Chain A
């Protein structure tokens, strides 16, 4: 089972959290603004490997956090540096 360490509450089971989606940047490679919006609205990287994503500690401190998770093993591999809002 997946456990996530919240900076405020410590190590808690995944059931306490809500998945907030992969962190998606605007794709500079797409030059047409409409195509870029469509991509932003609908498309996912859906990476098989390490993703950067947002989680919400619903049944805890109710704060958002950003982490890196390996989707091939469903385990957290890294937490953001303190102060880095996007965790990159």
Chain B
């Protein structure tokens, strides 16, 4: 949680630092609960968040309705809203703009960004990794950090490193424009879906990742069907909108649903992975902390628990900060 809170704070000043606009907007996020068990889980979430400096409060159904008037508190008669936890500082940003802003910022500071070039192997000198083989030739490096998202197992295999990672597709879709403002982000752990409004007024809807691992980027009709069925219980106005676009990305899901950052046991080869479906919110903190790790050779305190060694030393965790989205 502390790690993600740090990331949230870095995001708040990142546009200024990188001198670019990526539509960062603080909107607030509510997690709806429909059962007593879920209410308990949301209470636990808000207490833990609070303890880690991420303000989160429990709100009543009426308060949820006041924040989001479109909400059907009866959940279509099937999923009555008993309450919600509410995190006012939650924000969204335009994902591709964040990537461009980072790339530009890095290039201004002298970093070479090589586009459209695939890493096809790792150069090894005995046990050490000393560079990468790419589709454009060999590049030497004293440290190689793999940050390739869902492709991490393939890259790590070149160093003989095996990881507790499975690659699953995650899908999302947007509707056509909704003419009214929609407050914040509405999320639901029981129905496993979330919704927010983009800058252009489209409604953005996502759900859980595909059950079987795969590297396929194909979107499916059954995903549209199942998420539309779920989300319209809570937000009936969505029935009148049309689906404009859907897409799929691949996510590196770790065995304990927490990220894996650091050394791999092979000299010169590091990974940052396990970002699953929640890695976007971690970008500023993940980058900063990994840079420190590479510069000093040691994991800073904030990410020390996220080492790959935890699987061997029986110190795995299900970090509650990871498993949410946004």
**Inside 8 A of B220's CB, which chain A residues have their CB?**
1
A19 and B213 alpha carbons, distance in the complex (Å): 9
Q: Does any Cβ of A come within 8 Å of B151's Cβ?
A: yes
Q: Does any Cβ of A come within 8 Å of B247's Cβ?
A: no
Chain B, residues 149-170, CB within 8 Å of chain A (1/0): the string is 0010110000000111111010
A36 and B286 alpha carbons, distance in the complex (Å): 30
Question: With A39-B162, A43-B162, A73-B216 as given contacts, are A48 and B221 in contact (CB-CB < 8 Å)?
Answer: no
Decide: A48 and B162 in contact? CB cutoff 8 A: no
Decide: A44 and B311 in contact? CB cutoff 8 A: no
Q: Does any Cβ of B come within 8 Å of A72's Cβ?
A: yes
Question: With A1-B220, A42-B255, A74-B216 as given contacts, are A18 and B211 in contact (CB-CB < 8 Å)?
Answer: yes
Tell me the residues in window 36-73 of chain A with beta carbons closer than 8 Å to chain B beta carbons.
Answer: 38-39, 41-48, 69, 71-73
Tell me the residues in window 1-34 of chain A with beta carbons closer than 8 Å to chain B beta carbons.
Answer: 1-2, 13-15, 18-19, 22
Decide: A46 and B153 in contact? CB cutoff 8 A: yes
**Inside 8 A of A69's CB, which chain B residues have their CB?**
212
Decide: A46 and B213 in contact? CB cutoff 8 A: yes
Decide: B167 and A46 in contact? CB cutoff 8 A: yes
Total interface residues on A, using CB and 8 Å?
24
* Chain B interface residue bracket vs A: 20 to 34
**Inside 8 A of B142's CB, which chain A residues have their CB?**
none
Decide: B165 and A44 in contact? CB cutoff 8 A: yes
**Inside 8 A of A39's CB, which chain B residues have their CB?**
162
**Inside 8 A of B215's CB, which chain A residues have their CB?**
48, 71-72
**Inside 8 A of B151's CB, which chain A residues have their CB?**
48
A26 and B165 alpha carbons, distance in the complex (Å): 18
Contact of B166 among A1, A18, A41, A46 (CB under 8 A): A46
Contact of B312 among A13, A38, A46 (CB under 8 A): A38
Q: Does any Cβ of A come within 8 Å of B214's Cβ?
A: yes
Decide: A42 and B311 in contact? CB cutoff 8 A: yes
**Inside 8 A of B312's CB, which chain A residues have their CB?**
35, 38
**Inside 8 A of B213's CB, which chain A residues have their CB?**
19, 22, 46, 71
Tell me the residues in window 216-273 of chain B with beta carbons closer than 8 Å to chain A beta carbons.
Answer: 216, 218, 220-222, 255
**Inside 8 A of B167's CB, which chain A residues have their CB?**
46, 48, 71
**Inside 8 A of A47's CB, which chain B residues have their CB?**
153
A71 and B215 alpha carbons, distance in the complex (Å): 6
Decide: B153 and A44 in contact? CB cutoff 8 A: yes
Closest to B226 in A: A15
A15 and B222 alpha carbons, distance in the complex (Å): 9
A10 and B221 alpha carbons, distance in the complex (Å): 22
Decide: A46 and B218 in contact? CB cutoff 8 A: no
Question: With A43-B163, A44-B165, A46-B165 as given contacts, are A74 and B153 in contact (CB-CB < 8 Å)?
Answer: no
Tell me the residues in window 153-195 of chain B with beta carbons closer than 8 Å to chain A beta carbons.
Answer: 153-154, 162-167, 169
Q: Within the complex, what minimum Cβ distance (angstroms) separates B326 from chain A?
A: 26
> Which of A13, A19, A48 is packed against the most chain B CB atoms within 10 Å?
A48
Known: A1-B221, A43-B163. 19 other contacts (CB 8 A): A14-B211, A14-B212, A15-B222, A39-B162, A43-B162, A44-B162, A44-B255, A46-B153, A46-B213, A48-B151, A69-B212, A71-B167, A71-B215, A72-B214, A72-B215, A72-B216, A73-B216, A74-B214, A74-B218
